[in-house]
Structure 1
């Protein structure tokens, strides 16, 4: 086990195009956000394992002796990740004192941590004593990949600490990355963590968190795309809660009732994803930026209309589109729809005054709004100097757990 203090980050994600259509065999484009989750791991003391999650006001600690059952309960090969059985998840739930039917962020975070910590540590003769702090810029439960970023950070930190993968050398750099084989192992373990949280995830969110950039998802196959430009967006959370399951079922119902109408709409969404991929590659290759951005804006407008047609729009998202259109900007929902989040494309020459005015108007509606970038790097090891002061203090203020099992 390494005795170093490590700081790891992983990005959230948005779906650029292909929401819902991807369920029916069409192409979706998922892209990383410049909003990240950060994790600090350091050697613990007094044979304790501490987990501090300030976003959900959770401070926990366990004695390593009380966690020894994980070594026998979890049959794991660190190089060949596999899913936690229902019986094991139930055992972890009972140990952590989580009531049956749990679904809140704290309960799911604890179960995911216990599984990844126990499974990845199982290659060692004893469980390591560690202090872990995880803090995120991502809103929880908004469809922006917050749980996947958490899983990716945990997997990267625990694999590095256990010696299953190397610790990248910063050597005066602010950020360092693992090699492709190590990233693949991180991604596989993060996917197992996502299964604990979501049951049957697609694997897209953890793949974006691991690899960054943009991924093309089609018929269960995930392909990273090279040469993707770093685009500016406004990301808006309407804070309207919705059920992804109900929305997906609604689209399927419409498709079954009106196949001759719905199939062409889904085909068009598929074509939008493919055309967007082509345009982004053209921008990265040095094409006419103004012309290419105009096409990207047209694709956003067309897709938003399609998403309303298939029944996943919402009045809160209509207001988002109307407000930004008043400033010459183009917006669409991202994710499940029915509320949730939307994205607004910003051209390279969009003036700060337009951005600020749009943000103020959206906040006046009660929405949360961030100016951020999409297409950046995936999971990374970071130097303390690379962090903003507020993030650094949250991760390194020496807080300790106040609840013990």
Structure 2
């Protein structure tokens, strides 16, 4: 049996702007999707959705498409694929990307393909694009390589200092495709305004990189708060998200913002370690789940 895992991701800055070729900074976190594969007489997929025979694309579109992509390298012999995850689906934490990356790595090992990380990241992005219609390469790239990355180039960004990262899931699933479409429609109506906002987010990403590398966490939090205001202005925040963001800030967070497409999903909180428990307590009545986590620097790996 082969066991592989790949991490989820958060955005420090840049979601939605990356769709328009702007910069963003994302990091992988130590919440993982685990994939186990073993030989079988037929394809079986075992997950929280139950056990499915064959590869039903309507239930498992990412797994199905990943197998199709791998078939370009190797005739896919039947496998039992078991998927478990610490990442809530449709939570803004890159759950589909982590599944895709982990499945591709597991298939590469099972079929002795020896795919390099670059190849896994490229194929995983193609899978997400095929399934979603369009997709940033951020989620799949960060899940494959780990660490903190500046997109679109993929440059690794160091982080000095120590702060906790708290993730609070609203409990409301969100559709990245629908939210990207709604922002695009707003841009179509007000192109000069939305383009200015995306340019500001682009500039923010360079300042975020600077503050991460200097370990100036208080300023990093301020920049995250500015980014949250811009995300609110383009219509991807809501009352629940705002209440969570302000609850965290009022308890001493350096910064708090949406991570991912918004509209539900999750927020991230940059917290001084001594404030984390108090912040978690403040968020618990407002969120489905609250997790204290940290940056993952390994990316996809064999367990």
Q: TM-score range by the shorter chain?
A: 0.7 to 0.9
Going from structure 1 to structure 2, the CA distance change for 1:199 and 1:265 (only over 3 Å counts) comes to closer
Structure 2 alignment gaps of length 5 or more: none
1:328 alignment partner in structure 2: 252
In structure 1, which of residues 206, 224, 228 is the aligned counterpart of residue 155 of structure 2? 224
Contact 1:213 1:378 in 2 (8 A): yes
TM-score (norm 1): 0.67
The CA distance in 2 between the partners of 1:159 and 1:273, in whole Å, is 34
2:282 alignment partner in structure 1: 361
1:71 alignment partner in structure 2: none
TM-score (norm 2): 0.88
The CA distance in 2 between the partners of 1:130 and 1:253, in whole Å, is 43
In structure 2, which of residues 91, 112, 124 is the aligned counterpart of residue 190 of structure 1? 124
1:342 matched to 2:267: yes
Contact 1:211 1:377 in 2 (8 A): yes
In structure 2, which of residues 18, 22, 29 is the aligned counterpart of residue 33 of structure 1? 29
Contact 2:251 2:282 in 1 (8 A): no
2:52 alignment partner in structure 1: 60
SS at match of 2:116: helix
State the Cα distance separating 1:188 from its structure 2 match. Answer: 2.6
State the Cα distance separating 1:272 from its structure 2 match. Answer: 1.2
Contact 2:18 2:136 in 1 (8 A): no
Deviates more, 1:248-257 or 1:32-41: 248-257
Contact 2:90 2:175 in 1 (8 A): no
Number of residues of Structure 1 aligned to a counterpart in Structure 2: 301
Deviations 1:319-341 (A, max 9, x none): 01121122111211111122221
Going from structure 1 to structure 2, the CA distance change for 1:199 and 1:252 (only over 3 Å counts) comes to closer
1:149 matched to 2:98: yes
Deviations 1:334-362 (A, max 9, x none): 11122221100023xx22xx423322332
1:317 matched to 2:238: no
State the Cα distance separating 1:130 from its structure 2 match. Answer: 3.1
State the Cα distance separating 1:273 from its structure 2 match. Answer: 0.7
1:288 alignment partner in structure 2: none
The CA distance in 2 between the partners of 1:328 and 1:360, in whole Å, is 12
1:121 matched to 2:115: no
1:266 matched to 2:198: yes
Structure 1 alignment gaps of length 5 or more: 63-91, 166-180, 284-291, 383-405
In structure 2, which of residues 182, 191, 210 is the aligned counterpart of residue 278 of structure 1? 210
